């Protein structure tokens, strides 16, 4: 790829500047030599005495020759004339006087030419300096040029599909792109053409950028890497110019791959802004749409893009002919997490008790980036304790640190608060153990962690779940209400410790009523749609409500009923197992942390028959 040529001074301009400087020097030194400058009053004295032989008048300047030599032996002189009336007045009072030159034609030319030339020289020097500071993408002349980094696959890309795990379906989909780039003639023999664009969609940290680099590494072609935000500037037209420049460079390097990370920064739907208008972002997006729709089919160019907000992209980007394929790069399942952990622990020294399957079971919902961070945190903990290798306890501690936050043993609770936290956490643990099918308890602790957690209860799912039934959601709400139920049975004022539990339980209840149609009175109606499926952010606050006030009241009643039922169920379970609750809380106060084997035994049956009967369920 040709580098951007910095501005330089041409030889012609340089020679012209040198010539003008030489002429000005000649003009300056021409006054020196045998010509003696004399006052104008002295010239009038010589003129009145008849000693002036000849003169040459040029404006105010007078040069001449005397008939006899002056005291210094020279006969040529020069002087500057003075106004006649002023000269007469000065001469009448015997005052010596002289004039000053106003500049000739050549001096006037120099005064008009030299300053612009100096300005041009300074400007070109400054431009060269700015260009040197920013490389190819810097400088005043390169503001409209693309900032994409060209990575040579043969030397710079060391990533292959073997380095990516947990996304087997996405890798299989992208293998076709690699085959197209390697052998475009073979795959085009039946009329098939290479896809124009592939959009990688998924939550943050799942490996979208890593997959794009693996495609370039496997195909062995140049890889242009850029970010959607790099196209947008405050200057109108700069983004569109950078898009054009990027595709022009890519055409000269075909076959190649263009990778645009965070496409949502560039491809947000037009007209979505409340301000409206054709702003700079929309012009840049229009140029990208034109380039993707118009680049030559014969050129083996693939545009890869990644985003975790596909719901806000412009529909024109997603139509066939532009981003032909959308590849989901989702969070890995348990098998995928084992494969990812195998990659990230390859260079670590592991103890014999470490089993990747057990670590994968502890980390449901973790992305590839989370698992890489987990392996590093475990290595840090092992190094800190002075271990010879990384034990399973280090991985467990790393999971707790990532999920619950940093341990804060320096935070001292007063005895009353510490007792409330112990009952609260033991309430969660015992309710979870009482309900068949709930995730097993891994650990219960009253050691403060993170910003606001005064204690925590960790459950370990046995399987990855993608569907949940009505009863399972009710069980989750009951477990979340276990802390508030234990505080209620303690007989003291309920505390603020259940705030996070109530928020999570309320979200489950509202989802059951609003999105999943699980309330019999409201019927199988989706009163709300899920927003931000990958980032989990709430929907736009200006979105209009799609139901009446009466329905809103019924929704509130249904949500409240679900939460009150879950709380009543948790209170019933703990009341039936009050001895185990008291024993477990005392053990927590004594040891601060308990594992599943150290929890107290529950009465049989775990859930009273009266509670099961009122719910209409067989447990």
Give 463-528 as a 3 state SS string.
CCCCCCCHHHHHHHHHHHCHHHHHHHHCCCCCCHHHHHHHHHHHHHHHHHHHCCCCCCCCCCCCCC
Q: Which residues are CB-contacts of 462 (< 8 A; sequence separation ≥ 6)?
A: 361, 439, 440
On whether the CB atoms of residues 146 and 249 are closer than 8 A, the answer is: yes
Tokens found for residue 184 = 């475009």
Burial (CB count within 10 angstroms: exposed 0-12, middle 13-18, buried 19+), residue 424? buried
Q: How far apart are CA 486 and CA 322, in angstroms?
A: 57
On whether the CB atoms of residues 447 and 455 are closer than 8 A, the answer is: yes
Q: How far apart are CA 513 and CA 23, in angstroms?
A: 92
Q: Cα–Cα distances in Å, from 539 out to 98, 264, 528, 529, 536?
A: 88, 16, 10, 9, 9
Q: At what angle do helices 415-434 and 578-591 cross, to 10 degrees?
A: 130
Q: Is the peptide bond before 605 cis (omega within 30 degrees of 0)?
A: yes
- To 10 degrees, the CA torsion angle through 98, 100, 106, 109? -170
What is the H or E stretch that residue 80 is in?
strand 76-80
List residues bridging with 79 in a β-sheet: 62
Could you confirm whether 425 is annotated as catalytic?
A: yes
Query: Beta-carbon neighbour count of residue 560 at 10 Å?
Result: 12
On the CB side of 245, CA atoms within 13 Å amount to 23
Choose the catalytic residue: 218, 262, 425, 474: 425
Residues tagged active-site:
425
């Amino acid at each position: 790829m040709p580098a951007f040529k910095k501005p330089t001074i041409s030889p012609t301009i340089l020679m012209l500047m040198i010539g003008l400087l030489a002429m000005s020097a000649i003009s300056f030194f021409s006054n020196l030599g045998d010509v003696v400058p004399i006052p104008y009053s002295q010239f009038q004295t010589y003129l009145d005495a008849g000693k002036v032989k000849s003169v040459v008048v040029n404006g105010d300047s007078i040069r001449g020759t005397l008939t006899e030599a002056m005291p210094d032996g020279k006969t040529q002189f020069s002087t500057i004339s003075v106004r006649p009336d002023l000269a007469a007045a000065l001469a009448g009072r015997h005052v010596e006087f002289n004039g000053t030159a106003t500049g000739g034609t050549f001096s006037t030319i120099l005064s008009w030419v030299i300053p612009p030339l100096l300005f041009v020289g300074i400007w070109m020097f400054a431009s060269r300096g700015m260009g040197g500071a920013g490389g190819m993408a810097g400088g005043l002349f390169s503001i409209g040029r693309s900032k994409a980094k060209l990575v040579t696959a043969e030397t710079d890309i060391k990533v292959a599909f073997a380095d990516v795990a947990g996304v087997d379906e996405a890798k299989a989909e992208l293998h076709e792109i690699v085959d197209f780039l390697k052998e475009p003639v073979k795959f085009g023999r039946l009329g098939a053409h290479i896809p124009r664009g592939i959009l990688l969609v998924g939550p943050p940290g799942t490996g979208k950028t890593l997959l794009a680099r693996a495609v370039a590494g496997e195909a062995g072609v140049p890889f242009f890497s850029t970010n959607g935000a790099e196209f947008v500037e405050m200057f109108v037209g700069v983004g569109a110019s950078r898009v054009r420049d990027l595709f022009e460079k890519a055409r000269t390097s075909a076959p190649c791959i263009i990778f645009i990370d965070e496409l949502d920064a560039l491809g947000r739907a037009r007209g979505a802004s409340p301000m409206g208008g054709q702003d700079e972002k929309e012009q840049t997006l229009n140029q990208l749409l034109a380039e993707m729709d118009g680049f030559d089919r014969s050129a083996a160019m693939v545009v890869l893009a990644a985003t975790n907000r596909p719901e806000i992209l412009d529909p024109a980007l997603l139509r066939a002919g532009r981003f032909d394929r959308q590849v989901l790069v989702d969070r890995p399942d348990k098998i995928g997490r084992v494969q990812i952990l195998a990659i990230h622990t390859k260079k670590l020294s592991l103890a014999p008790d470490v089993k990747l399957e057990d670590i994968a079971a502890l980390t449901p919902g973790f992305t590839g980036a989370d698992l890489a961070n987990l392996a590093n945190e475990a290595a840090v903990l092992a190094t800190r304790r002075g271990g010879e290798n990384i034990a399973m306890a280090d991985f467990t501690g790393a999971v707790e640190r990532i999920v619950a936050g940093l341990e804060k043993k320096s935070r001292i609770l007063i005895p009353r608060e510490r007792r409330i936290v112990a009952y609260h956490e033991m309430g969660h643990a015992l309710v979870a153990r009482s309900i068949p099918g709930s995730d097993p308890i891994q650990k219960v602790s009253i050691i403060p962690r993170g910003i606001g957690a005064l204690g925590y209860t960790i459950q370990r799912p046995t399987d990855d779940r993608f569907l949940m039934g009505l009863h399972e959601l009710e069980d989750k709400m009951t477990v979340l209400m276990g802390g508030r139920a234990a505080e209620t049975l303690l007989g003291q004022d309920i505390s603020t410790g259940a705030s996070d539990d109530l928020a999570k339980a309320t979200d489950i209840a509202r989802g059951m009523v609003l999105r999943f149609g699980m309330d019999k009175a409201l019927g199988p109606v989706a009163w709300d749609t899920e927003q931000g499926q990958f980032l989990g952010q709430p929907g736009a606050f200006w979105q209009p409500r799609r139901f009446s006030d009466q329905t809103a009241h019924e929704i509130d009643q249904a949500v409240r009923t679900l939460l009150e039922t879950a709380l009543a169920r948790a209170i019933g379970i703990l009341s039936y197992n009050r001895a185990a609750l008291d024993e477990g809380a005392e053990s927590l106060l004594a040891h601060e942390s308990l594992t599943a084997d150290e929890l107290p035994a529950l009465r049989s049956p775990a859930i009273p028959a009266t509670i099961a009967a009122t719910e209409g369920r067989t447990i």
